[in-house]
Structure 1
């Protein structure tokens, strides 16, 4: 082998040894959109509190009566799926909501009724 070839091999080996890593690099955190957790109010003044996959709707007239309870799942693209049991009508309703801003949910129930919820500050 020629000296030049040996020198080239040694230089390449040195360059490659500088490329080693101590393991895979951590991925950057996935950016989450706004969360639905918190208190929301509808046009009738009912307050719905979302947290941990459960929700509860109460009156705001001072009696603080539980009107409905249910569950929700927050999905991709700021969509929220709600299943709600009415304590008054004794019925279960499903609704799909879109979080159009961090402070507004626009919802449509399975019957086609539309309603909005505003985040309570």
Structure 2
């Protein structure tokens, strides 16, 4: 029985290392101190931050849900002005980069949510 456990651990380790060699992980130009790139929320909504522009799309149909712009308040905090295309409303959200892969956000109405960096 212990022999199978050791083999399973060895196989899992080998697969993990093979995944690293196969190109999984951050894409070219990845900066862990920047919000630039793609982020996912727990509901499967994808947000993209690129050169001061913001957009949110569904992951299944790629439907555009919201657009906007963002500005850095400091190195880890950004202010996002969002225009919801679904509701026809505007909102301001402050997002804090709490780790290279986690963005915690609070809207002006106090709603809180987190995004996880999508590593390509």
Q: Do the structures match in fold with TM over 0.5?
A: yes
Cα separation, 2, equivalents of 1:77 and 1:71 = 17
Matching of residues 1-121 of structure 1 within 5 Å: 34-61=33-60, 63-121=61-119
- Alpha-carbon RMSD across the aligned residues, in angstroms, is 1.4
Please tell me whether Structure 1 or Structure 2 has the larger radius of gyration of its CA atoms: 1
Are the structure 2 counterparts of residues 83 and 107 from structure 1 closer, same or farther at C-alpha, using a change threshold of 3 Å?
A: same
Greater relative contact order structure (CA < 8 Å, 6+ sep):
2
Q: Measure how far apart 1:75 and its partner are.
A: 2.5
Moved over 2 A (4+): none
After superposition, the C-alpha distances for 1:45-84 in whole angstroms (9 at most, x for unaligned) are 10001001001100011x1000000001122140011011
Cα separation, 2, equivalents of 1:43 and 1:86 = 19
Cα separation, 1, equivalents of 2:74 and 2:85 = 30
SS in 1 for 2:104: strand
Q: Which residue number in structure 2 is paired with residue 28 of structure 1?
A: none
Cα separation, 1, equivalents of 2:118 and 2:53 = 17
